[in-house]
Structure formats: C-alpha cells, structure tokens
Amino acid sequence: MTDAYDFHAGESPLLVSVPHDGRLIPPQMAEQMTAAGLSLPDTDWHVARLYEFARDLGASMIVARYSRYVVDLNRPADDTALYPGQLATGLCPRQTFDGRDLYVTQTEVDTESRVERFWRPYHERIRETLDELRRRHGRALLWDAHSIASRVPSLFDGELPVLNLGTFDGRSCDPAIAAAVLRVAEKSPYECVQDGRFKGGYITRHYGDPANGVQAMQLELAQRAYMDEQTRDYDELKASHLADTLRALLDGFTIRP
C-alpha cells in the first residue's frame, strides 16, 4: 500500500496522469526547507480539479499526492537531462524555477529513498494500468496533464501559449491522433503550439509506444487560463470554459488512427 498517489479506475482506454499537483511534504523534509520552498511556487496548481470531468468520460486517473520538490515524477530516475542545454531543476530539486533555495542549508538528499518511496510506485501503477487497458481495449491512451505560470523567464521567453501539446516530436503518438488534437486546439479560443518549448517529459517519452498500441501526449497549460496566478485562486468561470476545450482535446485524442 502506498500514499504516493490517488488512483481512480475508469472504463475507457484513457489514463490521465497528474504528476505535479501534489502538495504534501514529508515532515522531516519540511523542517529543513525555506519559506520559499514551503510555499510550493512551482506546483501545477488545481490541475487535478480541472480534469475532474475526465472521470465522467470513463477515464482512469492517477494523481500524485507529494510535491515535485520531494521528487519530480516527470523526470527519469537516473536524472538524465530531458532538454539538454536548458535549465533543469533536477529529479530532487534544490531550487525553485526562479532560483530561490529550497533548503536552509546544503542538506544531503537521499535520492534513492525518495525514488523508492514516491517515484517508483507512481510509475509502477502507470505501467500496470496501461498494460491492463491494452489487454482490455486493444490500445491504451496516456494523457499527461500539467500547468505552469504564464511567464517563467528561466525556462522560456515571453508569455507561454495557453495550450502546449507535446508528442516528443511525433515519437510518442500516432501522427493522425496528434493532428486531430492539434486541429481541436487550433479551433479553440486559446493560443496553441505542438512540440514547442514543452515536447513532453519522461512520462510521455517513456510510455508512448504507438507501434505497440500505447499513445501518449502531454499538455502543459498556461495557468492564466483557469486561475489567478498571483493569488493562486481557482477561477470557476475561466476553468469552465477551459474544460470545454479540454473535453474536445481528449475526444480528439481518443480517435482511432
């Protein structure tokens, strides 16, 4: 039994993964953290809430309970760089995106134990679920759900488009499916890009295997589309409008190529 995530089993071939909305910090770790770290500024705020509708569509959902500052579930366990030459906060980060220290002192981080307790259970459940979905439906669809502040100068220039679709440059998803999702995004009220700054992290890249019936896409949302980025408050009206687009995107994702 693990407390690393919450899981909901659905009836459709779709699994929605939410790896960065977790906000728990183990007490011993919290005692060593700065005020900046404890405020969890780089959380994918309210993403699990935003995607609650997916359960009504029959999707399974896995939602991390612990913060990305404990361990980043969207990075490989060996911490290999996903975007060579660009800023990487690491598997077990020591700084926020804007360069503030997470720890009061240069604390030793037991990466191995964090991987075993938090990272591995999340990924084992993803693998088990995708295998079961493929057995049951003949295919499995993995949608990796993220969000980020609209402006993060250390990671990208200017203001991020609202919809940032990632297919690992076409390797994690069948081109016909990727094209269908992009068409929906282009017809939506929001700015969109595919395989731009965010091409999909470890989850998309590792599990996406179109040749063997597993399609994977990442969606990185700019947070201004559904919340107040200053107060972190969820905006019900904005979120409702965005959810309409998210439903349409998931419909496009579930087509058969």
- Digit-by-digit pLDDT tens for the chain (257 residues) are 799 999 999 999 999 999 999 999 999 999 999 999 999 999 999 999 999 999 999 999 999 999 999 999 999 999 887 776 666 678 999 999 999 999 998 777 899 999 999 999 999 999 999 999 999 999 999 999 999 999 999 889 999 999 999 999 999 999 999 999 999 999 999 999 999 999 999 999 999 999 999 999 999 999 999 999 999 999 999 999 999 999 999 999 998 87
Q: What is the pLDDT of residue 79?
A: 82
What pLDDT does residue 85 have? 63
Can you give the pLDDT at residue 86? 65
Range of the domain at 125: 5-253
Q: Which segments of the chain are extended strands (E)?
A: 5-8, 14-18, 60-64, 140-148, 163-166, 192-194, 214-222
Number of domains into which the chain is organized: 1
What's the CATH number where 207 sits?
Answer: 3.40.630.40
What pLDDT, on a 0 to 100 scale, did the predictor assign at position 256? 83
List CB contacts of 77: < 8 A, sequence separation 6 or more.
91, 115, 119, 120
Angle at 49 between CA 46 and CA 252, to 5 degrees: 105
Residue 1 is predicted with a pLDDT of 77
pLDDT at 195: 97
